[in-house]
Amino acid sequence: MSSTGGTWSPESNNIGDTGQVPVAPPAARWRIVVPVKGGPAAKSRLASLPSMTRTELARAMALDTLAAVCAVIDPDDVCVVAGAADARGWLAGLGMTVLDDYGGGLDAALQRGLGWADETPRARAARERPPSHVAVLLGDLPALSGAELACALDAAAAYPRAFVPDHLGEGTVLLTSETARLMRPAFGAGSARRHEQAGHRRLDLDLPGLRTDVDDADSLSLAVSVGVGRHTAAAVLGFLATEHPPERSRAEHPKG
């Protein structure tokens, strides 16, 4: 059941016209934790962009990521841990659980989300839900599609713990486990190596939208080349229009 009432389907999300093609959800049930930083500090490595533009871009990428998630996962099984008050504001109406990030870094935020994901058998029975696998998914995957996410989750379900590295093979975009208590998040530079050493099975899947997280100008360009969602596309086009407005036509120029 979704938080908005009735039976959930991939089309019954609250994000609006997502541009996501309806696809079959994963075979197993999943609970997904998505960290979203938000605010002026978001995407600080895109230093060439104005602060306001970075904030808008981070919001757009999070919305496209969540649109892909809700194409295949019931919003009741999605938790967003948000680090800025403005982010919590625009996330509040999307039908997912939204938790405050109390600080302490990404892994601390994820532990808060994993606490939400750690259902007791009694709570699960009360909701008439089967046991779920648990996943952590980065919130800056603007080229992600629901089909790619479902494919990755189905592949990960074959292992007690697994992860999908980023396009460079060094970071982590998706971390999974059979239960929240089995998960060992260790995000940051070089996280792929740490997650593999902690016992998560490495899955080098051919899913470019999933594996392209955006941290800097190069990865943003790569995501655009893969194909971003409508929110990110609008944010990028809006920035380009501001920085490089079209020249006025000859008819608009006064005659000399």
pLDDT tens for each residue of 21-79: 667 889 889 999 999 986 556 555 565 655 557 788 888 999 999 999 999 999 999 99
Task: Phi first, then psi: give them for residue 175, nearest 5 degrees.
Answer: -125, 130
Q: How far is CA 231 from CA 167, 194, 249, in A?
A: 22, 33, 29
In a domain, 18, yes or no: no
Report the CATH number that the domain containing residue 195 is assigned in CATH: 3.90.550.10
Does any domain span residue 231?
yes
pLDDT of residue 233: 92
Domain presence at residue 130: yes
Is residue 249 in a domain?
Answer: no
Taking 50 as the threshold, does the pLDDT of residue 254 lie above it? no
State how far the Cα of 100 lies from the Cα of 48, in Å rounded to an integer.
29
User: What are the residues whose beta carbons fall under 8 Å from the beta carbon of 56, sequence distance 6 or more?
Assistant: 235, 238
Number of domains the chain contains: 1
The set of long-range contacts for 103-110, using a CB threshold of 8 Å and a minimum separation of 24, is 106/35, 106/185, 106/187, 106/188, 107/185, 107/186, 107/187, 107/188, 109/35, 109/81, 109/83, 110/33, 110/35, 110/81, 110/136, 110/185, 110/187
Contacts of 34 (CB under 8 A, 6+ apart): 62, 65, 66, 69, 78, 79, 80, 81, 113, 136, 137, 138, 139
Structural domain contains residue 180: yes
Asked if residue 116 belongs to a domain, the reply is: yes
- pLDDT band for position 177 (cuts 50, 70, 90): very high
Asked whether residue 256 is domain-assigned, the answer is no
Average pLDDT on 82-89 reads 77
pLDDT tens profile 223-241:
999 999 999 999 888 766 5
Q: What is the pLDDT of residues 106-124, one digit of tens each?
A: 999 899 999 999 866 666 6
pLDDT at 13 over 60: no
Helix and strand numbers, DSSP H then E, in the chain:
9, 7
Asked if the structure places residue 10 within a domain, the reply is no
Query: Residue type at 158?
Result: A
Confidence (pLDDT) at 125: 61
Domain that holds residue 88: 30-242
pLDDT of residue 50: 55
pLDDT-based confidence at residue 127 (cuts at 50, 70, 90): low
State the pLDDT at residue 38.
60
The whole-number pLDDT of residue 12 equals 45
- Whether the predicted pLDDT of 248 surpasses 50: no
pTM of the model as a whole = 0.82
